[in-house]
Structure 1
């Protein structure tokens, strides 16, 4: 069961009360980190949905009985992690993959022109969508037990008519019960926005592993490249709140017309 934030009548955990702090943040953590943990709990519990306005800094300060500056510092960190979005004159909103500028936040493949908007949205073709028992390696990546139900999706993304990305996705069966190939094919928006709207799952961060591979027979056929063509293999695990893995995605990328771009800071 999700833990809800403390009400104004409940004291904030302190070093003198370690039991109370164990559910939210270590008692020795800075106060703003404890407030950040409480706000995250509300996000995880669905108190504020993606795209919704969260309470003002003043209201949150009163709720948690801390200074407005402490709340601001907590929200600053959440905004830096793309979990909330500040809008000048309007307030702070729960970040959502439906927002245009974050729709493809985890997609780093760019056309050689460097202007992703010039080629328009990807054309998507669902090759397969089935439920199966998780193999050991998939279960391990998704923090499941071997044999637990997962949904496997294979699709091809094309840009301007050219098949460019072949993806295999694995999703835990429980949270995505009811997701079908037809629903995926009918949806025109970003897949992560669909996950948010219909299944209440928001991907908040991802980890990737990248290496070079040669196209096997299946990849060569689906991507319309010669057998053995060099491809970029990108394996991504996407996490929702509380570092819970919710998707394993293995993609094969053509790089003859595109390149992988990452910004480091």
Structure 2
């Protein structure tokens, strides 16, 4: 791995054990250090919520300056992969943290705020293992016929069914996942994926459109069949852009709205 790095007065980062894909040789040195840290995150050297070594320790490990390490960590923090805590150090970001628990859920109540509304109540309608169709395999970077887990659930707020979701997960990565596990876990589902399966969702892409529900969907959400709903299709990725979840949701917007901040 060290041979991929260009000559530098700061030295060359040592191999970190095992083959890994790092940034090309022409990339700035801090980008290569970022890649090495990302490799350690991906392979579980530091778990979600755990502290990573200090900038001084990482600089010694990779034989570069502390400023180079700081710049690499700055980028990881900007991408919500790590979290800086004043006076405590830098920690692997986790969906169990209050400020990021619902980073991918943008539906907010029209009145009050999400904290007043409380967490969603989950009703698991279905959790089954099946074979991936060609389209499903393409989305999740699997082969057609590979095992996937399909989950159908309703999320309710203050007792009102608000989101109907279908979720597909790679069967190998989530072996042993059950409906009971999904229903009884008290925290965010993504936090459970981290804790029980070692899978952390780090980013997501969404497609949004307005749709009308079919009769069964309308019954599950307790709305008239002609009620317009928001259709949100989300593909969530773990480290190194590996797709790990396809989620399709129907959102009621009579008491909630989809809120996003654009920077």
Aligned to 2:24: 26
Give CA deviations for 1:206-237 in whole Å, capped at 9, x if unaligned: 00000000011111010000012100000000
Displacement, 1:178?
A: 0.3
Alignment CA distance shift 1:124-1:202 (3 Å)? same
Is the 1:36–1:75 contact (alpha carbons within 8 Å) kept by the matching residues of 2?
A: yes
Q: Distance in 1 between matches of 2:226 and 2:146?
A: 34
Structure 1 stretch displaced more, 20-29 or 254-263: 20-29
Partner of 2:110: 112
The answer for unaligned runs of 5 or more in structure 2 is none
CA contact (8 A) 2:206 2:234 kept: yes
In 1, distance between residues paired with 2:159 and 2:53? 45
Would you say the 8 A contact 2:106–2:259 is kept in 1? yes
Which residue is 1:209 aligned to?
207
* 2-structure distance, mates of 1:221, 1:207: 28
CA contact (8 A) 2:4 2:24 kept: no
Task: Determine if the alignment matches structure 1 residue 14 to structure 2 residue 6.
Answer: yes
Using the TM superposition, give the Cα deviation of residue 58 of structure 1 relative to its aligned residue in structure 2, in angstroms: 0.5
Shift of 1:115: 1.0
Would the alpha carbon gap of residues 22 and 166 (structure 1) be closer, same or farther in structure 2, given more than 3 Å must change? closer
Q: Contact between 1:15 and 1:27, CA under 8 Å: does it hold in 2?
A: no
Q: Any conservation in 2 of the 1:15–1:28 contact (CA below 8 Å)? A: no
Paired residues in the alignment total 255
Q: Summarize the Cα distance change of 1:15–1:67 in structure 2 as closer, same or farther, 3 Å threshold.
A: closer
Question: 8 Å contact 2:5–2:29 — kept in the other structure?
Answer: no
CA deviations over 1:84-112 (Å, ceiling 9, x no partner): 00000000000001111111110000000
TM-score for both structures, normalised by structure 1 = 0.93
Mapped partners of 2:58, 2:74: distance in 1: 14
Whole-angstrom distance in 2 between the partners of 1:152 and 1:244: 18
Q: For 1:11 and 1:64, how far apart are their aligned partners in 2?
A: 13
